[in-house]
Amino acid sequence: MNKNKSLLIRYIYYPLKSVTNSWRVHNATMSSELGKQTIQQLFGSNVQKFRKQAGLTQEQLSERLGISQKHLSIIETGTQFASATLIAKLSETLQVTPADLFGGTSSDELKQQMGNVTATLMTFLANELTRMRTLLYADIEALLKKQTLSYNAPEAKQQG
């Protein structure tokens, strides 16, 4: 019983724990890369993205909004936040929702992000399974070298 328990721990528990811990580290790295922007910076980069999609320069958009180009630049860099009135004007002028300006993700972008996460997870798991298989084969090979395995077939009972 003790031997079976140690085999289960060695080949099931520790590999799963290793995969889980490795994925946590990998996921934390991805999250920290994605989470570096403050809400102001995210808002500003979205304003810039939608401005460029609309084919407008900072000068043209600032004119339409009734603010200086410098003020728009400060908002786009995330240094200063826009007022509620300006957010409404921005969303109307750029023809997007306020949620889009704050990082609302379109369904296509969300599908692409989910696809990227799924692909990363699948690659990670495939690498971990390959690593675990290699370790398992090495252990089996070592056990086979230490022991001579023999198989004695059960003798057939004679009827008589």
Classify residue 51 by burial, with Cβ atoms within 10 Å: 0-12, 13-18, 19+. buried
CATH, residue 96: 1.10.260.40
Residues 86 and 142 in one domain: no
In a domain, residue 76? The reply is: yes
Q: How remote is the C-alpha of 38 from its chain's centroid?
A: 19
Domain count, the chain: 2
* pLDDT at residue number 62: 95
* pLDDT at residue number 142: 77
Residues 62 and 94 in one domain: yes
Amino acid at 102: F
In a domain, residue 152? The reply is: no
Cβ proximity of 38 and 48 under 8 Å: no
pLDDT tens by residue, the chain, 160 residues: 566 666 556 556 556 556 555 555 555 554 444 455 678 888 899 999 999 999 999 999 999 999 999 999 999 998 888 888 899 999 999 999 888 888 755 556 656 767 777 777 788 888 888 888 888 888 887 777 776 544 444 555 555 5
146 conformational bin, left if phi > 0, alpha if psi -120 to 50, beta if neither:
alpha
* pLDDT at residue number 144: 75
* pLDDT at residue number 58: 95
* pLDDT at residue number 118: 78
Residues 90 and 63 in one domain: yes
Could you tell me the pTM of the whole model?
Answer: 0.46
In a domain, residue 100? The reply is: yes
In a domain, residue 160? The reply is: no
Residues 99 and 109 in one domain: no
Residues 27 and 45 in one domain: no
Domain that holds residue 68: 37-104
In a domain, residue 156? The reply is: no
